[in-house]
Chains A and B, each alone.
Chain A
Amino acid sequence: DAGITQSPRHKVTETGTPVTLRCHQTENHRYMYWYRQDPGHGLRLIHYSYGVKDTDKGEVSDGYSVSRSKTEDFLLTLESATSSQTSVYFCAIRRLAGTPNEQFFGPGTRLTVL
């Protein structure tokens, strides 16, 4: 257990509305990641952070923004949700100890955009 929580766990929203998903970690990890999971695609990286206020894009970043104002929270925002953003979103952290490129995942948020 890497102390990762995600909120909300489920959300239904309408096209065009803004949505913010939160990832919270309790172990002070520097690296955090947001992925989306879709059938036939596996998990794809949206954005990641390597420190407070330090973020970068992943392979499917269009339509998403992120913010990290403190170590424990990494927020993913859909400025204007579209039906193509219906997905399950996972947050992950990377520990610097042990195997450095091993990531641990949160429980996920299921988002439905109508």
Chain B
Amino acid sequence: GNSVTQMEGPVTLSEEAFLTINCTYTATGYPSLFWYVQYPGEGLQLLLKATKADDKGSNKGFEATYRKETTSFHLEKGSVQVSDSAVYFCALSDQGSGGSNYKLTFGKGTLLTVNP
């Protein structure tokens, strides 16, 4: 079945540091890949997405590139801010064939804390 593995947290950085959160996946076919962010006390928000190999998703200074050859979708940001403190989830969705109905499979989440 499908699975997502993301780096264990927590991750603690100083403001303006470079961020990488690793994510690798196992899936059949050609899944879509997502990063979701959960701020304290809130639900999940879609941060960025990529639907095919070599696509780069980007939003709010975050980027991730869909690498099929390494089955990876690592999240990066060049200069983090205190307001980026949150839990980040990598997720994949199958293509909905065979009755799978586009179910999402999530990684376990990575807690990021950015200190001033």
Q: Verify that A and B bind, or say they do not.
A: yes
Which B residues from 8 to 63 make CB contacts under 8 A with A?
32, 34, 36, 42-46, 49, 51
B74 within 8 A of A: no
**Contact for A108 among B43, B89, B104, CB less than 8 A:** B43
User: Is chain A's interface secondary structure helix, strand, loop, or mixed overall?
Assistant: strand
Q: How many residues of B contact A (CB 8 A)?
A: 24
Chain B residues positioned under 8 Å from A43 (CB to CB): 44, 89, 104, 106
Nearest residue, chain A, Cβ from B95? A101
Chain A residues positioned under 8 Å from B103 (CB to CB): 33, 45, 48, 58
Chain A residues positioned under 8 Å from B95 (CB to CB): 101
> Are B89's CB and A42's CB within 8 A?
yes
Cβ contacts A19-36/B at 8 Å (1 or 0 each): 000000000000101000
> Are B102's CB and A94's CB within 8 A?
yes
Q: Which residues of A contact B (CB under 8 A)?
A: 31, 33, 40-45, 48, 50, 56, 58, 90, 92, 94, 99-108
